Amino acid sequence: MAGPYTITATLNDVGATNLQGSAFVRFKLRNFSGFVPRVTGTAIVAETQIDSFPNGSGLVSQVLWGNSDLTPSTTFYTVEFWDQGRITSSGNYLITANTNLGTAPQMNTPPVPAGFSFVLQTNGVVNGNQNLLNLQAGPNITIVDNGTGTDTISATGAAAFNTSGQGFFLGAQSYAPVQENSGITLATANQVVAVQLMLPFAITISKVSLYVVTGSGSGFMCAGLYSADGNTKLIDAGTNAFDVHTNSQALRSNNITPVTLQPGTYWFAVGDTVASSGSVVGHNLYTWLANLFNANVTRFGTAANAISGGVMPSTLGAITPFTNITAVAVPAVLFQV
């Protein structure tokens, strides 16, 4: 508590003459309806209005408790200027220090009155009915009234995976079977191939793995996971993430900083630092499947942005869909808790 504070004002008429006599300033404490205004731990404010009269120089000086010293915390002062038995003007002020009303800013919008006030919205849009909030469960949502003013809302069809070792392959297993010895064959070194991924559950990823069947060449494979618009790289398996040219029949795993993914649509992206380097467990997407995968919207194609220095690009850029192709192998990268 720092108050009380001294409030001053010099009263003139429009002719620059000091006012006195019948002129005065009225201070009214406002915005405490339903509550007893108090100076915390000191006093009850039993009188909430006070008049202050100017001296011979037109100067008014009044000691007031500051609004920062009072409860409830929503109070402010309405200051009225009176002369010859009539009010001439008024304004609202928040008093938190010694104040000269000749320079102090007025409040444009008074604070919310004491008491409970709320606005019902859905996703930031004001509800048409402000008198009713009726939460209704759906096929994948459970709502429990806890009886204490709180509700628990949980997903029943999209449980989170949070046990060590749990994870998922690229969603392309919904496009084509996982096969052994699927060679990574790309038209150009550092080219990025992107495949749409649908994730039906929440999961925190901390490890990325791949299995090399046959090592050859001299390249490294890089992989990442991107947002649905391709503009945000969410997971990067690491610089030159997987050695795919040595040690046949070997598991490659990289630990990463944990990243939590929510259910939704993502892009899985992969590329090789050379045009062809080794074979891995993956998905072979055959001749006409690309046409089906890309029906109406692009789900599988080459990204405009390329790998640089063994690092996946920060964004994918435009994705050019594959059409009639012989085969493209998409590695079966495993993302794990």
Q: What is the pLDDT of residues 318-336, one digit of tens each?
A: 998 887 665 566 777 888 8
In the predicted structure, residue 147 carries a pLDDT above the cut 80: no
Looking at residues 86-109, what average pLDDT do you find?
Answer: 90
Query: 5-100: what CATH class?
Result: mainly beta
Q: How confident is the model at residue 213 (pLDDT cuts 50, 70, 90)?
A: confident
Q: Are strands 167-169 and 242-243 parallel, antiparallel or unpaired?
A: unpaired
Q: How many other CB atoms are there within 10 angstroms of residue 223's CB atom?
A: 23
In the predicted structure, residue 171 carries a pLDDT above the cut 60: no
Length of the chain: 337
Looking at residues 60-77, what average pLDDT do you find?
Answer: 92
Q: Which residue has better confidence, 284 or 311?
A: 311
- Range(s) within the chain of domains with CATH label 2.60.120: 167-336
Q: How confident is the model at residue 195 (pLDDT cuts 50, 70, 90)?
A: confident
Q: Are strands 276-286 and 327-331 parallel, antiparallel or unpaired?
A: antiparallel
φ, ψ (nearest 5 deg) of residue 329: -90, 125
- Which uninterrupted H or E stretch holds 292? helix 289-293
Looking at residues 116-126, what average pLDDT do you find?
Answer: 73
Q: Which residue has better confidence, 170 or 103?
A: 103
Q: Which residue has better confidence, 23 or 154?
A: 23
Identify the top-confidence range among 30-44, 182-196, 242-256.
30-44
φ, ψ (nearest 5 deg) of residue 226: -125, 160
In the chain, what percentage of residues exceed pLDDT 70?
80
In the chain, what percentage of residues exceed pLDDT 90?
34
Report field, pTM of the whole predicted structure over 0.75:
no
Query: 167-336: what CATH class?
Result: mainly beta
In the predicted structure, residue 233 carries a pLDDT above the cut 80: yes
Coil, helix or strand at residue 75: coil
Q: How many other CB atoms are there within 10 angstroms of residue 321's CB atom?
A: 16
Six token digits for residue 191: 């080219």
- Range(s) within the chain of domains with CATH label 2.60.40: 5-100
Looking at residues 241-254, what average pLDDT do you find?
Answer: 80
Q: For position 214, what pLDDT does the model report?
A: 73
Q: How many Å apart are CA 18 and CA 158, to the nearest integer?
A: 75
The CA distances from residue 282 to 112, 151, 170, 211, 320, in Å, are 61, 44, 9, 9, 21
Q: Which residue has better confidence, 62 or 252?
A: 62
In the predicted structure, residue 83 carries a pLDDT above the cut 90: yes
In the predicted structure, residue 287 carries a pLDDT above the cut 70: no
Q: How many other CB atoms are there within 10 angstroms of residue 81's CB atom?
A: 18
Q: What is the average pLDDT value for the chain, to the nearest integer?
A: 81
